[in-house]
């Protein structure tokens, strides 16, 4: 027992003397390091981390969690790294998680593996925490029986980076989170959303990849959000969106890639967004712009091989397009300034037909429909007259 306590270090190993993490935390003093040696552990109860310690797994020790939250952190300055936590069982009354952070600040959760658990990392009322390099693989169960991989509620200044999450309900879920940064995460094959945030102002999302999620990414009711360099791909299905924005204002959506989604980018009630430098490729509907999304600026975006580039449900247009590249543009550039001399009308007549009458989709790429579209482009009667790109790019940027 004494040997295990030398110099502020507590060693946990299956052979003892300290053979459970719970006992080790109880023994440790603030500032101690608990080293967990490789092995298979089963804690009978939730491990309560109520003092500032570093818990470090060496050689990937495995913990079987069972019918409870595994780690409950209630102290500030706790670091948890290198653990493998498995099988936190689902519950319909309790948000059980592999690692639960409650009212803490400056915690670090790094390089853990969480497998088949209800919630992965669950934080409420935390601030200045760092969640990085974790791998969270969910149970792949139904929406009701799976929690979120990374879940934060009412928190601030959280950094979530380089995590890989899959097979949960939502990959990353934020609610009432402010001033946080999510970067370089991979979120895929989640039941519902790859990323889901609401009421989370002033957050940044950079270089994340959201692919093959049940409903893509949906974000709502937030201001001053920056999303840049992300990839939204292969979110397929009736209600699947590469990125759905509802009531998102004054944000920036730049340099993202939207590839092979049913709907690439969907804007509802979203105002004053700067949408630039994005690439929309091979989507069903690249951009759906609803009438209540106003004063958004679209410039320098690339539209390639989408079935429909832009659709809208309104005849008027209050968003502005300028200097985008459209592969369907048929104009010319006599003065060689790189911009077409004839405005481009990205809304096809056929998209309006499909809007009102979805089975008409079967006529996609029919000669008849192409003729109708051409006629409408020459003399717009039904498509929104104001929704034009007055200066479409002639050459594809980059």
Partner 1 sequence: MTDLRQVLAAQVRNVLRSRWLVGYTLLLLLATVLLLRFGGSGTRALLSLVNVVLLLLPLVSVVFGTLYVYNAREFIELLLAQPVGRGAVYLGLFGGLAIPLSLALLAGVGGPLVVEALQDPSVWRPLAMLLTVGVLLTLVFTAFALCVAVLVEERSRGFGAALLVWLACTVVYDGLILLVLTTFRDYPLEAPVLVLTFLNPIDLARVVLLLTFDVALLMGYTGTVFARMFGTAGGLVAAFSMLLVCAAVPLWAGYRWFRRKDF
Asked if 382 touches partner 1 (CB under 8 A), the answer is: no
Q: Minimum distance from CB of 362 to partner 1 (Å)?
A: 5
The DSSP code sequence of 289-337 is E-TT--S-EEES-EEES-SEEEEES-SS--SEEES-EETT-----TT-S
Residue 237 binds partner 1 (CB under 8 A): yes
| Segment interacting with partner 1 (CB under 8 A) among 102-110, 165-173, 259-267, 373-381 | 259-267
Strands 181-183 and 159-161: parallel
The one segment of 18-26, 173-181, 192-200, 349-357 that binds partner 1 by CB under 8 A = 349-357
Quickly count: other Cβ atoms within 10 Å of residue 131's Cβ.
Answer: 29
Q: Specify the residue, 250 or 268, whose C-beta has the smaller distance to partner 1.
A: 268
Neighbours of 376 (CB within 10 A): 18
Task: Give CA–CA dist 301/321, Å, rounded.
Answer: 9
User: Which CB atom, from 108 or from 282, has the smaller least distance to partner 1?
Assistant: 282
Q: Which listed residue (7, 44, 238, 336) binds partner 1 by CB under 8 A?
A: 238
| Least distance from partner 1 to the Cβ atom of residue 354, Å | 8
Total interface residues for partner 1 by CB under 8 A: 28
Site for partner 1 in 355-374 (CB under 8 A): 356-369, 371
Tell me if 211 contacts partner 1 by CB under 8 A. Answer: no
Output the smallest distance, CB 268 to partner 1, in A: 17
| Environment class of 152 (CB within 10 Å of its CB; exposed 0-12, middle 13-18, buried 19+) | buried
Tokens matching residue 362: 């079967």
Nearer to partner 1, 216 or 323 (CB): 216
| CA–CA gap between residue 370 and residue 107 (Å, rounded) | 58
Query: Based on CB atoms, which residue is closest to partner 1, 371 or 386?
Result: 371
Determine, following the binding rule CB under 8 A, whether residue 381 of this chain makes contact with partner 1.
no
Look up residue 59 and give its two tokens. 């050689």
Q: Does the footprint of partner 1 cover residue 30 (CB under 8 A)? A: no
> Which residue, 267 or 286, has its beta carbon nearer to partner 1?
286
Taking the least distance from each CB to partner 1, the nearer of 206 and 355 is: 355
Q: Which is nearer to partner 1, 36 or 349 (CB)?
A: 349
Task: Assess 2 for contact with partner 1 (CB under 8 A).
Answer: no
Q: Are 55 and 36 in contact (CB under 8 A)?
A: yes
Name the residue nearer to partner 1 (CB basis): 38 or 239. 239
Q: DSSP for 263-274, please give it.
A: EEEEEES-BS-E
Q: What is the DSSP letter of 209?
A: E
Residue 222 region, left (φ>0) first, then alpha (ψ -120 to 50), else beta? Answer: beta
Q: CB 303 → partner 1: shortest distance, Å?
A: 13
- Which positions ≥6 away from 398 have C-beta within 8 Å? none
Nearer to partner 1, 140 or 284 (CB): 284
Residues 6+ apart with CB under 8 A from 21: 12, 34, 36, 41, 43, 47, 55, 63
Per-position x/- string for 276-295, each x denoting binding to partner 1 as judged by CB under 8 A, each - no binding: ------xxx-----------
User: How far apart, in Å, do the first and last CA atoms of the chain sit?
Assistant: 64
Taking the C-alpha atoms of residue 30 and residue 17, their distance in angstroms, rounded to an integer, is 21
Exposure string of 60-69, with b = 16+ CB inside 10 Å and e = fewer, is: ebbbebbebb
Q: State which of residues 198, 307, 342, 394 lies at the interface with partner 1 (CB under 8 A).
A: 307
Please report whether residue 395 would count as binding partner 1 according to CB under 8 A. no
Does 398 sit near partner 1 (CB under 8 A)? no
Q: Answer yes or no whether residue 394 interacts with partner 1 by CB under 8 A.
A: no
Q: Are 171 and 147 in contact (CB under 8 A)?
A: no
- Please tell me whether residue 260 binds partner 1 under the rule CB under 8 A: yes
Residue 141 as a binder of partner 1 (CB under 8 A): the answer is no
Shortest distance (Å) from residue 51 CB to partner 1: 52
Which one among 127, 208, 261, 271 touches partner 1, defined by CB under 8 A?
Answer: 261
Q: Are 295 and 321 in contact (CB under 8 A)?
A: no
- By CB under 8 A, name the binding residues for partner 1: 236-238, 260-262, 282-284, 305-307, 353, 356-369, 371
């Amino acid at each position: 027992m004494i040997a295990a306590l030398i110099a502020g270090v507590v060693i946990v190993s299956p052979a003892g003397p300290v053979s459970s993490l719970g006992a080790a935390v109880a023994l440790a003093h603030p500032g101690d390091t608990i080293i967990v040696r490789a092995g298979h552990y089963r804690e009978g109860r939730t491990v309560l981390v109520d003092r500032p310690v570093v818990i470090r797994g060496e050689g990937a020790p495995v913990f079987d969690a069972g019918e409870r939250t595994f780690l409950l952190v209630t102290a500030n300055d706790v670091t948890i790294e290198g653990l493998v936590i498995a099988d936190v069982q689902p519950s319909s009354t309790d948000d059980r998680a592999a690692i639960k952070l409650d009212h803490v600040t400056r915690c670090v959760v790094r390089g853990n593996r969480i497998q088949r658990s209800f919630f992965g990392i669950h934080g409420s009322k935390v601030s200045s925490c760092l969640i990085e390099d974790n791998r969270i693989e969910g149970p792949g169960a139904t929406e009701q029986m799976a929690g979120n991989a990374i879940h934060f509620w009412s928190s601030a200044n959280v950094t979530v980076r380089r995590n890989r999450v899959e097979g949960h309900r939502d990959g990353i879920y934020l609610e009432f989170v402010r001033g946080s940064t999510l970067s370089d995460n991979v979120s895929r094959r989640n039941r519902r959303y790859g990323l889901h945030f609401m009421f989370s102002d002033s957050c940044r999302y950079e270089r994340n990849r959201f692919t093959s999620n049940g409903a893509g990414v949906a974000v709502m009711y937030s201001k001053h959000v920056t999303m840049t360099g992300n990839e939204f791909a292969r979110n397929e299905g009736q209600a699947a969106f590469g990125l759905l924005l509802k009531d998102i204002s004054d944000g920036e959506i730049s340099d993202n890639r939207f590839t092979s989604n049913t709907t690439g980018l969907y804007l509802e009630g979203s105002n004053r967004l700067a949408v630039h430098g994005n690439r929309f490729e091979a989507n069903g509907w690249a951009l759906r712009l609803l009438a209540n999304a106003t004063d958004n600026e679209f410039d320098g975006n690339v539209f390639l091989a989408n079935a429909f580039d832009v659709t809208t449900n309104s005849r008027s247009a209050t968003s502005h397009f300028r200097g985008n590249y459209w592969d369907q543009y048929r104009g010319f550039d006599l003065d060689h300034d790189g911009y077409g001399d004839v405005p481009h009308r990205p809304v096809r007549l056929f998209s309006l037909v499909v809007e009102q009458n979805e089975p008409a989709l079967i006529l996609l790429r029919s000669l008849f429909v192409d003729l109708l579209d051409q006629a409408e482009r020459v003399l717009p009667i039904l498509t929104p007259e104001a929704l034009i790109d007055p200066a479409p790019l002639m050459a594809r940027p980059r």
